[in-house]
Amino acid sequence: MFRQIIALTIKDLKVIFKDTGGVAALFLMPAMFIIVMSNALAGSFGTNGDQLINVLVVNLDHGKTGAALVDDLKASGGINVETTWDSQPLTRAQAEQLIVDQKRSIAIVIPEDFSHAVQKAAFDNAAQSAQIELVVDPATSEQVLGPVKGALAGLSQQAAFKKLLPQGIDSMLDAINQNGGSVPAAMRSALEDNGGFTTGKNEQLVVIQETQPANMKIEQYPNTVQQNVPGWALFGVFFISGILAQSILEEKRTGAFRRLVAAPMSRATVLLGKLVPHVIVNLIQITILFLVGYFVLPLTGLPRLEWGAHPEGLIIISICASITANALGLMLAAIAKSEQQLGGLSTLLVLTLAAIGGVMVPRFVMPQFMQSLGVISPHAWALNAYQDILMRGYGIVEILPECAVLLAMAAVMFAVTVRKFKWD
């Protein structure tokens, strides 16, 4: 019995390892996923000092309080403060354009009268709190925006109190002296070093006003529904690429595909005939998932998925993404040599492209090299186009570049398919 078990084991191992491509995909897939996700999530766990949130800071204040706030932000950790661009001091217009161009997602603008406004808020009962503007790309996740808002709120109050502290102490001590009292020099020094003041009515000296660049049309900030519905819809769209490739290999195995090739039609027509029905399935799939976001998720207490000012753009993006996903499926069918190899390869590609494309982790929290790597993922272009419609208030004209990239990727993959496809 023991010898029989050993013999069967050796036989099956030979069968498994005979398909070298399938075995390679089996081991490569988890390794690649570990590499990609570990790098993508590095910043979330704080294990890498380089994973900082890039924040543009425009300090227009002519007083000392704005400069103190900038210094505190630089020293806070977790935020990479950028006060210059191309070796020149940042202007508000330049910072907003960098956000519109999606080179950065957050900017802090300290107004020119900030120090004076803080002083008035502290000592004038009729004055309003001083304001700082937080200019944000509407597609920025709360996962990134929340820590920046928290740090800015705390540090702005700290900078204001630090600069006002001497004035508050002096006012208090002068009032004592004017009323006939006296304070020893040593006590005065200790108070100036450690004391505080409670002058004025404003407990909150500084308030944060959240806004967006002037060129972005709709002030709508993302929530969990707007982030996850389009992202995971894309994951499902590209998951069908493996199903398409699997159906082609199955038809080859049964001989059905040979009969299609023998029909009086071009080979490109045969491939397009396989692509179109799966594109239709994808469009039905996307429609259902977006309707779930609109009708079902609110029943669970989540926000409703709003479709933006130009929902017709969602249709164009969905068509382009579906064509690209199924072109990937055709290419997989062309290069895979067995069903086992296809299973591993399709899973590897779909998961990796989804990860670096921002479906599982927003791209702006990834290291810079991962963000750059993401441009090879069709998920990144499609997700960005969806966010242009859903969150940034854009229309069809603005999403055309992303759609053009998706169709270009599909054309390249279709060309590889035609060249590499084995018709026998």
User: pLDDT digit string (tens) for 398-410?
Assistant: 999 999 999 999 9
> Which amino acid is located at 122 in the chain?
A
Separation CA 285–CA 288 (nearest Å): 5
What integer is the mean pLDDT of 38-55?
60
**Confidence grade of residue 13 (pLDDT, cut at 50, 70, 90):** low
What is the pTM for the complete model shown? 0.68
User: How many Cβ atoms from other residues are within 10 Å of residue 180's Cβ?
Assistant: 6
Q: What is the chain's mean pLDDT, rounded? A: 80
Q: What is the DSSP letter of 101?
A: T
Q: Which residues contact 119 (CB under 8 A, 6 or more apart)?
A: 164, 167
Q: What are the boundaries of each domain within the chain?
A: 20-43+221-420, 52-211
Q: Which stretch of DSSP H or E encloses residue 134?
A: strand 130-136
pLDDT tens digits for range 47-66: 444 567 889 999 999 888 89
The residue to which tokens 């759609």 are assigned = 403
What's the pLDDT at 16?
A: 62
Q: What is the DSSP letter of 364?
A: G
Calculate the CA dihedral of residues 292, 293, 295, 300 and round it to 10 degrees. Answer: 100
**Confidence grade of residue 26 (pLDDT, cut at 50, 70, 90):** low
Beta strands 106-110; 53-59: pairing state = parallel
- Nearest in space to 392 (alpha carbons), one of 402, 400, 384: 384
What's the pLDDT at 56?
A: 94
Separation CA 265–CA 73 (nearest Å): 66
CATH number of 52-211: 3.40.1710
User: How many Cβ atoms from other residues are within 10 Å of residue 5's Cβ?
Assistant: 9
The yes-or-no verdict on residue 44 having pLDDT over 70 is: no
Q: Which stretch of DSSP H or E encloses residue 109?
A: strand 106-110
- The alpha carbon of residue 383 and the mean position of all alpha carbons in its chain are separated, in whole angstroms, by 9
Q: Which residues contact 164 (CB under 8 A, 6 or more apart)?
A: 118, 119, 122, 197, 205
Q: Say if CB 240 and CB 346 are below 8 A apart.
A: no
Q: Say if CB 403 and CB 385 are below 8 A apart.
A: yes
% of the chain at pLDDT higher than 70: 76
Query: How many angstroms separate the most distant Cα atoms in the chain?
Result: 111
What's the pLDDT at 173?
A: 46
Q: What is the DSSP letter of 363?
A: G
- C-alpha distances out from residue 2 to 7, 10, 15, 177, Å: 9, 12, 20, 101
pLDDT tens digits for range 260-270: 767 777 777 78
What's the pLDDT at 219?
A: 45
Higher pLDDT pick, 409 / 35: 409
Q: What are phi and psi of 297, to 5 degrees?
A: -60, -35
**Confidence grade of residue 224 (pLDDT, cut at 50, 70, 90):** confident
